[in-house]
Amino acid sequence: MTTDTAYVGAGSADRAVRPPRPPRERSGIPPILLLPALIGLSFLLLPMIGLLVRAPWTTLDDELRDPLVREALKLSLYTATMSTLISLVLGVPIAVVLAQGRFRGRGLIRALVTVPLVLPPVVGGVALLTALGRKGVVGERIYDWTGYSLPFTTNAVIVAETFVAMPFLIIAVEGALRGADTRFTEAAATLGATRWYTFRRVTLPQVMPGVAAGAVLCWARALGEFGATVTFAGSLEGKTMVMPSAVYRTLERGDPNAAIVLSLVLMGVSILVLASLRERWISPSSAR
């Protein structure tokens, strides 16, 4: 009745009343920022394009067969994988303590754990030498008792890589554990499960995607590790010369092709890692 009249009065009677088309949304980017953004983007992309342009595509196969390249590749894969395994064994428990522990000083421990993330890697290498070197705080004892000296061995590479890469795993797993659903933990408890049984059969499967992501990140970081490794383990061919060290060495020796090939491999790995983690880390909408 009255509402009908009001409608007819407000719009035309013969056409369906439709709200006016909203104006196209204006983008909020000030034009003055577009130029520096463009320059910045080119700056980020150019080096990678350069690598692709200068790559010795025709002789790629031969370059990959170069003993130095092959040894470095093998050693890198071995040490990065070992340090990831060690990080899993030691890092997951740390993540559990940080995520579920209720004690004072937890914030301090978390801060200490993340120090290697921001510490310059070369400083990490020096720190490892002072702790585990032949004259180091702990290393001296070990040497006195067993005659074993860690620095400049393949194991030293693994130790250096683990020191730098483990925090990545801890942070990722801790995040996953914080997001884990405690309702299932409670259900498991009422079904007679001890905390350890619950962890193995309920919690761990639940946070597995987080553990996997953390392991991939950790592995990638270990693979690219240079500063701490070179400082603590040196760069001995076939023993401690991992890919990043080999890149540096070949360049120094005036063999840019080998350096480019190694760099290509490392870049390929990085892109693969990025792709495998894209759902978790790249897309802003799915970021948690």
Partner 1 sequence: MDLPLERTVTDPVAGGLDADFTAGRGEFTLRLQLAVSPGRTVALLGPNGAGKSTALRVLTGLLRPYGGHVRLDGVLLEGGPVHLPPERRPVGVVWQDYRLFPNLSALDNVAFGLRTRGADKGASRERAAFWLDRMGLTEHAKKKPAALSGGQAQRVALARALAPEPKLLLLDEPLAALDARTRLDVRTNLRRHLAEFGGATVLVTHDPLDAMVLATDVVVLEDGRAVQRGPVAEVARRPQTDYVARLVGLNLYRGKADDGGVRLADGTFISAPIADLGAVAGDDVMVAFPPAAVSVFTHRPVGSPRNVFAARITDMELHAGSVRLHLRGSLDVLADVTAGAVADLGLIPGREVWATVKATETSVYPA
The binding site for partner 1 (CB under 8 A) comprises 183-184, 186-194, 197, 201-202, 205-206
Helix (H) or strand (E) holding 285: none
Nearer to partner 1, 114 or 206 (CB): 206
- Are 73 and 237 spatial neighbours (Cβ–Cβ below 8 Å)? no
Instruction: State how far the Cα of 107 lies from the Cα of 249, in Å rounded to an integer.
Output: 41
Instruction: State how far the Cα of 215 lies from the Cα of 170, in Å rounded to an integer.
Output: 9
Instruction: State how far the Cα of 177 lies from the Cα of 209, in Å rounded to an integer.
Output: 11
Please report how close the Cβ of residue 195 comes to partner 1 at its closest, in angstroms: 8
Please report how close the Cβ of residue 184 comes to partner 1 at its closest, in angstroms: 6
Name the residue type at position 77: L
Tokens 């995040």, residue? 175
Nearer to partner 1, 100 or 257 (CB): 100
Please report how close the Cβ of residue 198 comes to partner 1 at its closest, in angstroms: 8
Nearer to partner 1, 7 or 197 (CB): 197
Nearer to partner 1, 207 or 223 (CB): 207
Instruction: State how far the Cα of 142 lies from the Cα of 156, in Å rounded to an integer.
Output: 14
Listed residue (188, 190, 187) closest to 200, CA to CA? 188
Instruction: State how far the Cα of 167 lies from the Cα of 272, in Å rounded to an integer.
Output: 21
Please report how close the Cβ of residue 170 comes to partner 1 at its closest, in angstroms: 23
Please report how close the Cβ of residue 64 comes to partner 1 at its closest, in angstroms: 41
Please report how close the Cβ of residue 51 comes to partner 1 at its closest, in angstroms: 42
Nearer to partner 1, 209 or 268 (CB): 209
Nearer to partner 1, 191 or 271 (CB): 191
Tokens 């342009």, residue? 53
Please report how close the Cβ of residue 187 comes to partner 1 at its closest, in angstroms: 4
Q: Tell me the longest C-alpha to C-alpha distance in the chain.
A: 101
Nearer to partner 1, 211 or 222 (CB): 211
E-assigned strand segments in the chain? none
- Are 142 and 200 spatial neighbours (Cβ–Cβ below 8 Å)? no
